[in-house]
Amino acid sequence: MGWMIAVAVTLLNFVALAGLRGQTLGKWATGLRIVRLDGKPLTFLSSLLRHIIGYPLSLLTLGLGFFLAVFNTQGRALHDIIAGTVVVLDKARPPRPVG
């Protein structure tokens, strides 16, 4: 039962939230957003490709799929290339005062 809850929460975060808002909880907390290469909002299908197909492939290559971002001029990892996405700063988010 516990593993089913973990899978549901993971799918909600990575597929549903990202597909609806372009942000996982972590991306929201850090002011980042996932968009399509043309700059348009992430679609549910792109989110599904990115997280259900792309992430496992990146892991199956012993993490080399994530390491591609270091060499890609846009910082795109394997899952971004598969889904046609890129991670950008969320300009809609107002800056917070420091101090």
Q: Tens digits of per-residue pLDDT, 24-41? A: 999 999 999 999 999 999
Stretch 37-66: mean pLDDT: 92
pLDDT exceeds 70 at position 96? no
Q: How far apart are CA 79 and CA 93, in angstroms?
A: 25
Domain ranges of the chain: 2-89
pLDDT digits (tens, 9 = 90+) for 62-75: 999 999 999 999 99
Which alpha helices (DSSP H) does the chain contain, by range?
A: 2-11, 18-21, 25-30, 44-48, 55-60, 64-71, 78-83
Q: Which one of 20-24, 79-83, 90-94 scores highest in mean pLDDT?
A: 79-83
Whole-angstrom Cα distance, residue 99 to residue 96? Answer: 10
Phi-psi region of 84 (alpha: psi -120 to 50; beta: other; left: phi over 0): left
Residue 23: per-residue pLDDT: 93
Q: Please say if the pLDDT value at position 94 is more than 70.
A: no
